[in-house]
Amino acid sequence: MSSLYEVGVIKRQESKIKISVQVIHPDSNYITDSPGFALMLLYHNVNNDSPIKKEVDFDDTLDEVWMKKNAYAFIKSVDLKMNNPNKKGWKKGVLDITVTHPAWLEHLKDIDHWDSAAFDPTDDYIICEPILPIEEEVISIDNLDLTSKKGFMPIWKYMIPDSLLKTQKDILWFPTLGEKYYKESDRVISDLSDENLQKWEGTLVRTAKSCGILFKRETDWGIISCSRGSMASSYIDGEMTQMVLNPKKKNGYTSSPKSILIWGRPVVYEILINGDTISFKLMIMSEDNDRIFLETKMSVLKFMLKRFESFSGNEYNIVSPLCEKMNTIMKEKNIKDTHTLYLRHKEIAEQFIVSSRIDKIRDVPYPEFYQLKNEEIMDLYSFEKWPAYEISVKITDAKWLEQYPKEPFSYIFSEYD
């Protein structure tokens, strides 16, 4: 999110903070004394140890309904005094903010200046009782029923194919609620060896900088987190703590697997080779992705090769006759990268592609997740329940299909290839 305001601390008291607010973006030339705007301005430098983090997730600050009901639980009062605008006509003011408890300012105690992307999420706030911090003991794993999936939902690895296709587990259990509804257990994972992390794959964990599901990536381990409108994958930055559902937190907004599908892509789940013909069975998990374009022979070749590109895009890094031949061609023709190959050397595809066809092999409605139990959701996780296509490609010589990898992969089709 772009920064909209410069914020500077003028004065601090136990439960009060006086800040200057200067507009720095033309799209936000306003300053208001609403509790929601104030809470968003103060939601900066928040980490896992911040008291406010245990009660307010970042997603909460973006939620109009949540802010309407809860902003006054943290912001007792706001007084605004406007100053003269700057030379550009952008507004400037001073906000005197009183919070309902000193803990809600603790994360700002060493911060004097910051930029903010705050906005006023609603024009109607409900007066409510203040929320006060509660010291809670760490939950002992020994006292929990770890077979219970309350607070978690099953996610099929094909639903987030770019991140999860390398994991050995078909199902991973993602939290259905915001991060604040989970808390640290007494189980610390300090052994970060590959052997030990395999035992913890699919576990909700927290590190010093991130919180999410531990999973196997291409060459290492990472943490993936999905929230309302965002998804992030990060590396492991130190020892981890297993997170569990906090039984004292109530009335959370529950997500369903449908919220994950916005990150989905068409997924090739089966590859068959028969002589000089290769076929790809492709599953579609969202109507937004139900577009299969392979208009030229080069677009077909790109579809077959794209996943084998090196990080720099200057070669293909899979050992196979097809990739080795493509690397040779790029060197002989001095083609600097695969993007240039696809765009400016489409005639090369004639050496490999004879023809292709696309058939819809399964025309079924997209499954609905509304009000389904976890067992019913898992029943939807089979290829037969989702629309699918088959892409068949005839090759000029069967040798180009030797050693062609058959692992699942995802692909974004473009009608402009």
Q: What is the percentage of the chain residues whose pLDDT exceeds 90?
A: 71
Partner residues linked to 273 by β-bridges: 278
Instruction: Out of 138-152, 207-221, 289-303, 339-353, pick the least confident.
Output: 138-152
- Rounded to 10 deg, the angle between the 297-305 and 321-332 helix axes is 120
Q: 91 is written with which tokens? A: 């507004």
Domain that holds residue 216: 152-259
| DSSP-derived 3-state class of residue 327 | helix
Kindly state whether residue 138 falls inside one of the protein's structural domains: no
Residues 306 and 392 in one domain: yes
Average pLDDT of span 370-390? 94
Residues 311 and 384 in one domain: yes
Kindly state whether residue 144 falls inside one of the protein's structural domains: no
Residues 66 and 158 in one domain: no
Average pLDDT of span 203-231? 85
Residues 338 and 221 in one domain: no
Q: 368 is written with which tokens? A: 């609905």
Question: Cα separations (Å) of 155 from 117, 235, 380?
Answer: 32, 20, 11
Average pLDDT of span 79-103? 95
Kindly state whether residue 136 falls inside one of the protein's structural domains: no
Q: 349 is written with which tokens? A: 């595809």
Residues 278 and 254 in one domain: no
Distance CA 297, CA 299 (A): 5
Helix (H) or strand (E) holding 353: strand 353-362
Q: What are the strands, taking DSSP E only, across 250-343?
A: 267-274, 277-283
Residues 328 and 394 in one domain: yes
Kindly state whether residue 143 falls inside one of the protein's structural domains: no
Kindly state whether residue 287 falls inside one of the protein's structural domains: yes
Residues 314 and 346 in one domain: yes
Per the CB < 8 A criterion, the answer to whether 52 and 43 are in contact is: yes
Q: What is the pLDDT of residue 147?
A: 66
Q: What is the pLDDT of residue 234?
A: 84
Residues 245 and 277 in one domain: no
Q: What is the pLDDT of residue 229?
A: 61
* pLDDT above 70: residue 415: no
Mean pLDDT of the chain: 91
Residues 372 and 273 in one domain: yes
With DSSP H G I counted as helix, E B as strand and the rest as coil, what are the percentages for the chain, rounded to 5? Answer: 30, 30, 45
Report pTM.
0.78
pLDDT interval class at 289 (50, 70, 90):
confident
Number of domains in the chain: 3
Nearest to 204 by CA among 150, 262, 251, 258: 150
